[in-house]
Amino acid sequence: SQKIEQNSEALNIQEGKTATLTCNYTNYSPAYLQWYRQDPGRGPVFLLLIRENEKEKRKERLKVTFDTTLKQSLFHITASQPADSATYLCALVGSGTYKYIFGTGTRLKVLA
Amino acid sequence: NAGVTQTPKFRILKIGQSMTLQCTQDMNHNYMYWYRQDPGMGLKLIYYSVGAGITDKGEVPNGYNVSRSTTEDFPLRLELAAPSQTSVYFCASSSQTTSVRTDTQYFGPGTRLTVL
């Protein structure tokens, strides 16, 4: 069955460092991969989308890579700040469907 | 724009009761979704709609029903509530108007439902 894995353990990093979060998937060929941020008690907020034919996407301090051979996406936050502390979710969807599959999320804590 | 609004914010149901979770969006989006999120878990798609009058099942549709009579509203109906339906429910919407998909989903604040 289709499966998405994100590191379930919380990631603690020091302010100013680069945070790297991983999203691995199996038994799936996504056309699009997205990253969302979720704060406690709130709905997810869209951050970045990357297509299967794109290797890398950037937006301000955020960078996403997509390796369809490794079946993996990496999400980087450079010069991290305490305000970046949140849970980050990855989501996949195929080209012919709108049925999204979400990972369980990784909780990031940036220490001042 | 208010974006995606959901009511109620919280609700406690007894086993066997029914209720409707309301979802409204004011962005004229054609696509709408219902997800549930259990503690420590990712979002699971319950139902989605690609336009008024069109709905389809997601990953976990059992025990739920939906309707989409207007572009703005996408209510989720729980019949015969069970403890397994205790969860946080999120509604989302997105706009797909061209052949190039953008797939940005806008989420509501969620409804926290407890079934006792």
Q: How far apart are CA B31 and CA B45, in angstroms?
A: 13
Q: How far apart are CA A103 and CA B93, in angstroms?
A: 19
B92 CB neighbours in chain A (<8 A) are 43
The predicted structure's pLDDT at residue A35: 96
Q: Is the minimum CB–CB distance between A33 and chain B shorter than 8 Å?
A: no
Residue B34 near residue B46, CB atoms below 8 Å:
yes
The answer, yes or no, to whether residue B54 has pLDDT greater than 90, is: yes
CA dihedral of B76, B82, B87, B92, whole degrees rounded to 10: -10
Q: Cα distance from A79 to chain B (closest Cα, Å)?
A: 25
Note whether B43 contacts A98, CB cutoff 8 Å.
Answer: no
The predicted structure's pLDDT at residue B99: 66
Q: Is the minimum CB–CB distance between B33 and chain A shorter than 8 Å?
A: yes
The predicted structure's pLDDT at residue B48: 95
A105 CB neighbours in chain B (<8 A) are 42
Note whether B43 contacts A44, CB cutoff 8 Å.
Answer: yes
Burial class (CB in 10 A: 0-12, 13-18, 19+), A59: exposed
Instruction: Indicate the pLDDT class of residue B98, thresholds 50, 70 and 90.
Output: low
| Complete DSSP assignment for chain B | ---EEEE-SEEEE-TT--EEEEEEESS--SEEEEEEE-TT--EEEEEEEEETTEEEE-S--TTEEE--SSSSB--EEE-S--GGG-EEEEEEEE---SSS-----EE---EEEEE-
Q: How far apart are CA A96 and CA B29, in angstroms?
A: 19
Rg of the Cα atoms in chain A: 13
The answer, yes or no, to whether residue B1 has pLDDT greater than 80, is: no
Q: How far apart are CA B29 and CA B98, in angstroms?
A: 13
The predicted structure's pLDDT at residue A61: 97
The predicted structure's pLDDT at residue B100: 63
pLDDT in tens, A69-105: 999 999 999 999 999 999 999 999 887 788 889 999 9
The predicted structure's pLDDT at residue B107: 97
Side-chain-side CA neighbours of B81 within 13 Å: the count stands at 21
Note whether A91 contacts B43, CB cutoff 8 Å.
Answer: yes
